[in-house]
Structure 1
Amino acid sequence: MIASREADLAAFAALIRKWNPAINLVAPSTLKDLETRHLEDSLQLANLQDEPAGLWLDIGSGGGLPGIVLAICRPDCKISLVDSDRRKVAFLQATIRQLDLKNCTATATRIEDLPPASADNLSARALAPMDRLMPYVARHLAENGTAWLMKGRNWQAELDTARESWNFDVVVHPSMTDSASAILAIRDVHHV
């Protein structure tokens, strides 16, 4: 199973490198560090959520980071990828077919147009500041679900701004790939 997972992650990295010049899935300057900067970063979610169950919704999926990585590492979990860019969704759908990820789907739609998903887990990486993400989290997260927001160096300021309009519980997990970044596990979200 682990060898298969590593082979699938390597195949996914090759697909990103192949498609990136046409679609810009990741910043071209980060391609040389794709495995550490993007794949290992995304792998953190699979390691943090011990027992994912039900639906995992990845919003603003872009190049499939972390959604495709989660689908590879968590074959027992249903992963739904959503992005408004049809070209990126075409890449995601081709990747899902090529890697035979039966637990994963990709949909081209705007997050606000998606019917409430009642997701057990929701993830977003490099999508928007927290205050703009919180309405999506509130709309799509199940009552006892967890949102996993992968935030960069300004995570504390984003967290403070989001708290001005939203009440929620948060656990801060330091990023293993960037000491100034964090993964925020958010639960019990309510508008102030």
Structure 2
Amino acid sequence: MRSNCSLRSHSHSKCRGQNLIAPSTLGTIWERHVLDSAQLVRFEPFNGASWVDVGSGAGLPGLIVALLVKGPITLIEPRRLRAEFLSDVVSKLGLADRVTIECAKVERVQGKFDVITARAVAALDRLLAMTEHLSKSETVWVLPKGKNAQTELAQAQVNWHCDVRVEQSCTDPESQILVLTRVGAKK
């Protein structure tokens, strides 16, 4: 899927060539991207929870989550063209009243959220360091991870304490979802 900016024709030249997903995943777009994102909603701690999706890129999982939940969603995407794409899609889907786009590095974003998610952004240890300031004591991190989930978790637990649930992905037998609560840096 490439953004050809048919959503906003006057910016066509700015968006041409934006690779939003890997061409190799086009044949499995439903399972690999849509369902993979949608499965995260089952970990919402309560109806109307606030979500933040770090490194939203093509809106995965953030846009899919926004279509399925009722609470506010913040999509953080530092790349301007992708943030513009997300803004266009949010507008066209009628989600502008609940979805905010932050075109910035995650470290510069302010706010506290009930759920933090990120897909293919960074190893867990680094991701927790980048996002801890967005959490509160009850925040749930819902993080889809590939076959290295257990290794990332072990490495992160050197520097972080947390309660962990490891859930099997519904879309990939080799992938897991790390559901973290009570996250804090070790002193």
**Number of aligned pairs?**
175
- 1:175 correspondence with 2:169: yes
Is the 1:59–1:81 Cα contact (8 Å) retained in structure 2? Answer: yes
Structure 1: give runs of 5+ residues left out of the alignment. Answer: 1-15
* Residue 50 of structure 1, CA deviation: 5.8
In structure 1, the residue matched to 2:7 is none
Q: Do the aligned residues in 1 keep the contact of 2:3 with 2:85 (CA within 8 Å)?
A: no
Structure 1 residue 33 corresponds to structure 2 residue 28: yes
Q: Distance in 1 between matches of 2:147 and 2:136?
A: 28
Q: In percent, how many aligned pairs have the same letter?
A: 34
Q: Is the contact made by 2:66 and 2:99 (CA closer than 8 Å) also made in structure 1?
A: yes
Distance 2:64 2:162 in 1: 27
Moved more, 160-169 or 43-52: 43-52
Bigger helix share: 1
Q: Deviations over 1:130-166 (max 9, x none)?
A: 0110113321112111011111111110000000111
Q: TM-score, normalised by structure 2?
A: 0.88
In structure 1, the residue matched to 2:134 is 140
User: Is 1:158 aligned to 2:152, yes or no?
Assistant: yes
Root-mean-square deviation (Å):
1.6
Q: 1:84 aligns with which of 75, 78, 100?
A: 78
Give the Cα–Cα distance (whole angstroms) in 2 for the partners of residues 167 and 84 of structure 1. Answer: 28
The answer to whether residue 136 in structure 2 is matched with residue 109 in structure 1 is no
Written as runs of structure 1 = structure 2, the 5 A alignment for 1:65-76 is 65-74=60-69, 76=70
TM-score for both structures, normalised by structure 1:
0.86
Give 3-state SS (helix, strand or coil) of 2:53's partner.
Answer: strand
Deviating more after overlay: 100-109 vs 158-167: 100-109
1:120 aligns with 2:120: no
